[in-house]
A and B are shown apart, each in its own frame.
Chain A
Amino acid sequence: MTWLAIFIIAVGLFFLVVGSIGILRLPDVFSRAHALSLTDSLGAAFVLAGLAVYEGFTVNFLRIVVVLLLVYLMNPVISHATLRAAYRSGLRPSVREEK
């Protein structure tokens, strides 16, 4: 059980690291939001799921699942609100011409 938890958390850490690399490398705010959604919906979710597995089937499992659901419901709303503000204030994504 512990090894399963460690494996799931490691997968989550991988996504978190890739998301951070993305937020450094990607060129504009719209693309960076993709890296952020990678971090949120996969990285954080896997780490929390791994911790839930580590806790075993107790009431703590359900508590961590509540946090997980909260993250899942909340983060799309925040990304969307931020990007909508960016879009309405006139920012447009940079488009590369190379084919």
Chain B
Amino acid sequence: MRFLSAIALFALWMVLSASYNVAHVALGAVVAIIVVWLSPKAAPNARRFSLTAAIAYVPWLFIRVLKSGFHVCGLILKPGLPIKPELIKHKTELSSDGELVVLGNSITLTPGTITVEVAAGELIVHAIDPSSQQDLVSGALDRKVGQLFTAKESG
């Protein structure tokens, strides 16, 4: 796992760097290894992030963002400004930090809903009108985020 993150950091260096001579590439490799070596190890009972689920999650989230984006566009452009903002409390059974981060970021990324406050097991979400709460209240988002993290096996 740490080996993979070193590879990822090195790939980022290669993409951003503009010069590919030996000195720069070697410097990148050394820096990637040092950064991974200095960064703290994951907690032993941490849940693992599953890459395949993430690849399926991103397009799903993007389609959702696009749909609610057009919805919010309609709301803004209508002459009467038909918004009904309210704060809703969203109970969730996701509890680990990683899951809460992904859930909160996904909610905020979607136009129409924004995470205002996060506590363990409860999020306060500001929704601009009732129909943009649909996905959240029905729990579809929670289930998707829950699938992203699997219990940790060895390694």
Query: Which residues 107-144 in B have Cβ within 8 Å of A in the complex?
Result: 108-112, 114-117, 124, 126, 128
Whether B72 is near chain A, meaning CB under 8 Å from some CB there, is yes
**A87 contact set on B, CB distance < 8 A:** 116-117, 124
Whether B27 is near chain A, meaning CB under 8 Å from some CB there, is no
Query: Which residues 68-99 in A have Cβ within 8 Å of B in the complex?
Result: 72-73, 75-77, 79-80, 83-84, 87-88, 92-96
B14 to chain A, nearest CB (A): 9
Nearest to A86 among chain B residues (CB) is B116
Q: Check if A18 sits within 8 Å of B76, measured CB to CB.
A: yes
Q: How far is the CA of A80 from the CA of B15 in the complex (A)?
A: 30
Query: Which residues 71-123 in B have Cβ within 8 Å of A in the complex?
Result: 72-73, 76-77, 81, 83-87, 104-105, 108-112, 114-117
Q: How far is the CA of A18 from the CA of B78 in the complex (A)?
A: 11
**CB-contact partner of B115 in A25, A28, A63, A80, under 8 A:** A80
**CB-contact partner of B12 in A33, A59, A66, under 8 A:** A66
- Residues of B in contact with A, size category: 20 to 34
**CB-contact partner of B126 in A30, A73, A77, A96, under 8 A:** A30
Whether B66 is near chain A, meaning CB under 8 Å from some CB there, is yes
Most buried by B among A25, A76, A88: A76
Q: Check if A42 sits within 8 Å of B69, measured CB to CB.
A: yes
Whether B22 is near chain A, meaning CB under 8 Å from some CB there, is no
**CB-contact partner of A34 in B12, B104, B117, B128, under 8 A:** B128
**B85 contact set on A, CB distance < 8 A:** 28, 30-31, 93-96
Nearest to B20 among chain A residues (CB) is A59
Q: How far is the CA of A21 from the CA of B12 in the complex (A)?
A: 36
Q: Check if B109 sits within 8 Å of A37, measured CB to CB.
A: yes
A16-32 CB contact bits vs B (8 Å, 1 = yes)? 00100110011010110
With A26-B83, A37-B111 known, 19 other A-B pairs at CB within 8 A are A21-B77, A22-B76, A26-B76, A30-B114, A30-B126, A33-B126, A34-B112, A34-B114, A37-B108, A38-B69, A38-B73, A41-B111, A66-B15, A66-B16, A76-B109, A83-B114, A93-B126, A95-B85, A96-B85
8 contacts across the A-B interface (CB closer than 8 A): A15-B69, A41-B109, A66-B12, A76-B104, A76-B108, A79-B114, A83-B115, A93-B85
